[in-house]
Amino acid sequence: MKKLWIFCLTGIGMAACNDGNPTRNFANGVWQAKLHRADGADIVFNFDVQDTAGKKMLYVLNATDKLLVDDVKIKDDSLFIKMPFFDSEFKAKLTGDSTVEGLWIRHLADKDVSIPFTAVAGKAERFPVNTPAAANVSGRWVTAFVSAKDKDKKPSTAIGEFKQSGNIVHGTFLTTTGDYRFLDGVVDGDTLRLSTFDGSHAYLFTALVGKDSISNGRFFAGIGDGLENWSAVKNDTAKLPDERTIATMKPGQQQLDFSFPDMNGNKVSIKDERFKNKVVIITLMGSWCPNCMDETGFLSRWHEQNKDRGVEIIGLAYERTTDFEKSKKSLENFLKRFDVKYPVLITGVTPADPQKGEKSLPQLTGIKGFPTTIFINKKGNVEEVHTGFSGPGTGEHYEEFQADFNRLVSGMLDAK
């Protein structure tokens, strides 16, 4: 029998009901939270509530990742949590000092969407474990995802990478355009359960595990009815296509030519004097993109340490709206959180536009994923184009990325 979720309307959206109760306590410690999809597949995650300088804050926990959320407000029995990225928030009611129920709301370019949300304090487990693991999924897995609705749609391929200790599993899926970030879960008997939540990604994976195969997989994505079937075969030598071959410069083209407004509305061109005779790194990104979040964190730190070496970074933002002011608003918190000091330009082109490459960077064969990173040498020529980003959730791949990145940039800086 389906639960009936009832909330009060306040102002522009759904929020908690205030029945005159005094302010409740939002208990410190680890909570177990659930996003309740209409199909009954609850997306589970954990967060840790703390007191800092007299105010509440929390960390969303996914495997080894701790995402700081410092915009937490309590009024009477109402709780408001604004996520730092991706324009999403929780509006909920403190039904007790250790229980919460309400909505997770995503503000999209043209509408708001929401899903019921509940949380219980003092419950640090992700998923229950009742039986010793029947198999160990540590290693690399060639994975096929197939749409549950469109059987004629071509399967997408990824490489699953997992590490298992006892019943506990951490890992991710690697794709040609990035990774699924930090997945956290268990193997209970022969059943694998993994999930993640970061304010954009809200994923649940289930499957049956064997020694060298994973079968009957289900991938539940987000607020709506996103559902894919998946299966995997163990292959510790599996590799993805070279990230440098997915998007390239068109034949006969060597240099980019663009001019877009920065966050203050001032036009910035790659042909500007400040970029001449320097190595320039262009990142194609968006505030809606979790892999862009990981890359922006890396680039901002790297820029601060290397900005005096004759290297510049430019961000080209592809937001979900063509409206400059709306795009600027979406980007502001994102850039503030990572203390970005290099210019970020607003292209006015959306990531869903099939002509986004032709409209913004026609010298490329296309934009195949976000982020995409373009390396320009001191002569102004494009040296390499990298599609996707292997973030910290990928472990050794992230370490390899950093080493390759530094090797490439140092080589361009040393070139005469």
The per-residue pLDDT for 240 is: 87
CA-closest candidate to residue 412, choices 386, 392, 383, 385:
383
CA 33 to mean position of chain CA atoms:
19
Sign of CA dihedral 115, 113, 30, 399: positive
Residue 201, helix vs strand vs coil: coil
The per-residue pLDDT for 396 is: 87
The per-residue pLDDT for 136 is: 96
Q: What is the DSSP string of 143-200?
A: EEEEESS-TTSPPEEEEEEEEEETTEEEEEEEETTEE---EEEEEETTEEEEEEESSS
Residues 6+ apart with CB under 8 A from 109: 319, 320, 321, 326, 350
Tens of pLDDT along the chain (416 residues)?
A: 344 444 443 433 444 454 455 567 899 999 999 999 999 999 999 999 999 888 999 999 999 999 999 999 999 899 999 998 888 999 999 998 899 999 999 988 778 999 999 999 999 999 999 999 999 999 999 999 999 888 778 889 999 999 999 999 999 999 988 899 999 999 999 999 999 999 988 999 999 999 899 999 999 998 988 899 999 999 999 888 888 888 999 999 999 999 999 999 999 999 999 999 999 999 999 999 889 999 999 999 999 999 999 999 999 999 999 999 999 998 998 999 899 999 999 999 999 999 999 999 999 999 999 999 999 999 999 999 999 998 888 888 899 999 999 999 999 999 97
> For residue 187, what are its two tokens?
């193997």
User: Yes or no: is domain 8-121 CATH 2.40.50.140?
Assistant: no
The per-residue pLDDT for 317 is: 97
The per-residue pLDDT for 5 is: 47
Q: What is the DSSP string of 278-307?
A: SEEEEEEE-TT-HHHHHHHHHHHHHHHHHG
The per-residue pLDDT for 22 is: 56
Report the C-alpha gap between 151 and 161 in whole angstroms: 26
372-376 β-sheet, strand order: 344-346, 311-317, 279-285, 372-376, 382-387
Q: What is the DSSP string of 210-228?
A: -SSEEEEEEEEETTTTEEE
The per-residue pLDDT for 107 is: 87
> For residue 215, what are its two tokens?
């079968």
Q: Which residues of 276-290 are buried (b: 16+ CB within 10 A; e: fewer)?
A: eebbbbbbbbbbbbb
The answer to whether the pTM exceeds 0.85 is yes
> For residue 205, what are its two tokens?
């994976």
88-96 β-sheet, strand order: 65-69, 55-62, 42-52, 29-36, 112-121, 99-107, 88-96, 78-82, 71-75
On the 0-12 / 13-18 / 19+ scale of CB atoms within 10 A, 157 is middle
Question: Which regions of the chain carry the CATH code 2.40.128.120?
Answer: 139-234
Question: Which regions of the chain carry the CATH code 2.40.128.20?
Answer: 8-121
The per-residue pLDDT for 353 is: 94
Question: Which regions of the chain carry the CATH code 3.40.30.10?
Answer: 259-414
The per-residue pLDDT for 390 is: 86
Q: What is the DSSP string of 16-42?
A: ----SPPPPP---EEEEEEEE-TTS-E
Q: Is the Cβ–Cβ distance between 107 and 12 less than 8 Å?
A: no
CATH superfamily of 139-234: Quinohemoprotein amine dehydrogenase alpha subunit, domain 2 (2.40.128.120)
**H or E segment and range at residue 407:** helix 396-414
CATH of 259-414, one of 3.40.50.300, 3.90.700.10, 3.40.30.10, 3.40.50.2300: 3.40.30.10
